[in-house]
Structures are given as C-alpha cells and as structure tokens.
Amino acid sequence: MKRLVVALETQFAYVRPTGLGTYARKLAQALRARSDVLLVEIAYSQLDVWRFDRRLVWDQIVAPFFARRARADVTHFTGGTLPLAAPRPNVLSLHDLAWLDGAVRGRPYSRFYFGLVQRRLARRADRIVADTLTARDEIVSRLEIGPARVAVCGAGVDGEWFGIVRHPEEPAYVLAVGTMEERKDLETAVRAVASVPGVRLISVGAPTAYALRIAELVRALGVGDRVLLAGYVCQERLQALYAGASALIFPSRYEGFGLPPLQALAAGLPVIASDIPVLREVLGDCALFAPPGDVDAFASAIRRVLADERSLRPMIERGRMRARDFSWAGVAQRVVGVYRSLVS
C-alpha cells in the first residue's frame, strides 16, 4: 500500500496548548507511529495564536503557505478553521459549533470571522472530521451538508492517565478543567461548592473575560478562601490535581466531546457532569449527571461523592474500562481511512 504523505496542522500544540493542542499533538504522535503515513507538521512554534489578529494571520496566510510547501497527498487542519486557499484534498477537524451557536462570546469581528466566515469555509472542506455522533449530527444539520462528508473519528486518552494514583487531599476539593468561557458554566460549579460547607473548588484553564465575572461572583459569595482560579497549568501539575481531587465537576452547557471527564474516568476520579447528549455519549453510565445550570443537583452530587465514594466504586471501575475504548491509535486508524477515501 502506498505510503501517504500527510500535512497535519499542529500549531495549537504549542505555546499554551488546550484541548485543541492535545488533539493535534496526540494525533500527530499516533500518525507518526504508523508505517503507512509520512507526517509533515504544519506549525510555527513561536507564534502564539491565542489573539485574534495572530490567529487570522495563521489561518489565512501562514498555515496555507506551509501546507502548499509540504506538497502532501492530503492536508488536515485540526483547529476548526479552514484557510480560504486551502490545498486540496483537505480534511477539517470540527470539534464543535460553539461560535455558530453563540455559545462562545467575543468581539463583533471575532463572531463575524468564526461564526459567519468560517461557517462558509467549513462547507468547502473535502471532508470534515467530528469527535462524536452528536457533533456529527449537529454539523450536518447546521452547515447543511451531506452526512457522507462528515466522519466520526473520536478522540483518545493517553495511557498515563490510567497510571494516576489517587490520594484525595484534605480538606477535599473538586476540580474543574477547561478554558474559562461562559459555555463551560463555571458559575454553576462555584455556586454548588458555596452551598457545600468545607469543600474547595480548584479551576484550571486558560482565562478569558469570563474569568473576571467568576472572580466577582467568588467575592460576592464570600468563598474566596475555598475557590482557587489557577489559570493555565502544565500537564504535570494538571495530573497532580486529578490525583488529589475528590471529583471532577464538569457543568458545561455545550461541548463537542468533553476530554477532561474522559481523562477523569481513566484516572478513576468520580465525574459530576452536565446531562447533555454529547456527555451522555462519551461517558455513558459512568458519571453522576445533573441538569445544566442546576446548582442544587450539582451540590447534591458533590455531597454524595464526599459522603460515600465507596458506593460509587462500580461506576468508577466501569468508567476506567470505558476510557480504554478511546485510544489515539484508534483515532488515527479512522482518520487514515478518511485520508485514503480522498486520495483514492
């Protein structure tokens, strides 16, 4: 079988990698491990794309330049955005439609670019890769494209998460992981923790303007001594926080996948998550679910974990087994199938 030359966008794995960066880095590693793929990375590691003007330059000038220079059989853009002059054939990873749905707020020019311009450009992709069936169905419906053009390839969890040895700290804390933006609904987590005496909340993730609102809420509720907004942390520190937590709280109102709770399942950490379709699809019956925004329900789940984690052991063990079904090698296998369908 002919070896495929694949140009893969890995820019988001550098500077301040979030979920996009984890996806790009781990997919690159899995593709590089295959004998049927020759991988060329599209990245400029010194460029911080977490500012709109730099992101625009990357998307529309630098990335397509590197992609054309790679002379690959197929080009894969992983950040959810497509250049106007993207080489063909091309693949676009579209993790969610948060900008299109208004789940992410920003300045008017950001909403115009991500919500309108990128909606039109995404429809021009030769293939779109989604993480879940829920996301695939939304992409097909909202972008008005044929289902055959959208493949579900999933996301994975590293083996190192299974090796975490838990040692819940005292006083206990619940951990919230994710970029601090409104759709993640950290407000519900703060209010839930405020109603459970003695428990702490540690939130990690790159801050946005929404973080100022959360900081004000923490002050208003008088829980500044029990809530830590830690901002972005390195991988080593993140895994240490998983090890010391009593639970992961994930009150997000909108997701395309939900990697932090899957990592928690692998680590044997109880998960308290919003009851939304995509999290049901990823987590199955291996989490405690609460209606989005329901502070009392989230607080009740926190109390349950703290009172008797032993009763949750069957759920936790099911979660560890479920997490093993999500491997990056499996993601790479499905993605390569998409590449070959275009090249052939």
3-state secondary structure the chain: CCCEEEEEECHHHCCCCCHHHHHHHHHHHHHHCCCCEEEEEECCCCCCCCCHHHHHHHHHHHHHHHHHHHCCCEEEECCCCCCCCCCCCEEEECCCCCCCCCCCCCCHHHHHHHHHHHHHHHCCCCEEEECCHHHHHHHHHHHCCCHHHEEECCCCCCHHHHCCCCCCCCCCEEEEECCECHHHCHHHHHHHHHCCCCCEEEEECCECCHHHHHHHHHHHHCCCCCEEEEECCCHHHHHHHHHHCCEEEECCCCCCCCHHHHHHHHHCCCEEEECCHHHHHHHCCCCEEECCCCHHHHHHHHHHHHHCHHHHHHHHHHHHHHHCCCCHHHHHHHHHHHHHHHHC
Q: What is the pLDDT of residue 138?
A: 94
Enter the pTM of the model: 0.90
Burial class (CB in 10 A: 0-12, 13-18, 19+), 45: exposed
Sequence-separated (6 or more) residues with CB below 8 Å from residue 215: 229
- 106-158 pLDDT, tens digit per residue, is 678 888 888 889 889 999 999 999 999 999 999 999 999 999 999 999 999 99
Asked whether the predicted pLDDT for residue 103 surpasses 70, the reply is no
CA pseudo-torsion sign 33, 35, 36, 41: positive
Angle, CA of 153, 158 and 163, to the nearest 5°: 150
Sequence-separated (6 or more) residues with CB below 8 Å from residue 171: 198, 199, 200
* Averaged pLDDT score across all residues of the chain: 94
Q: What is the pLDDT of residue 150?
A: 97
Residue 217, both tokens: 């809420």
- 214-247 pLDDT, tens digit per residue, is 999 999 999 999 999 999 898 899 999 999 999 9
| Percent of the chain topping pLDDT 70 | 98
Least confident range of 16-20, 172-176, 288-292: 16-20
How many residues are there in the chain? 344
At 102, the pLDDT band (50, 70, 90 cuts) reads low
Q: Which residue has the tokens 């830690």?
A: 230
CA dist 124 to 24, 91, 120, 175, 243, Å? Answer: 21, 10, 7, 39, 43
Ordered domains of the chain (ranges, CATH): 4-156+327-343 (3.40.50.2000), 159-323 (3.40.50.2000)
Q: How far apart are CA 111 and CA 296, in angstroms?
A: 33
Q: What is the pLDDT of residue 49?
A: 85
Looking at residue 129, its amino acid is: V
Q: How far apart are CA 155 and CA 275, in angstroms?
A: 20
Taking Cα atoms as reference points, which of 269, 224, 280, 278 lies closest to residue 246? 269
At 99, the pLDDT band (50, 70, 90 cuts) reads confident
Asked whether the predicted pLDDT for residue 46 surpasses 90, the reply is no
At 304, the pLDDT band (50, 70, 90 cuts) reads very high
Q: What is the mean pLDDT of residues 284-311?
A: 97
Residue 87, both tokens: 């080489």
Taking Cα atoms as reference points, which of 278, 281, 245 lies closest to residue 264? 245
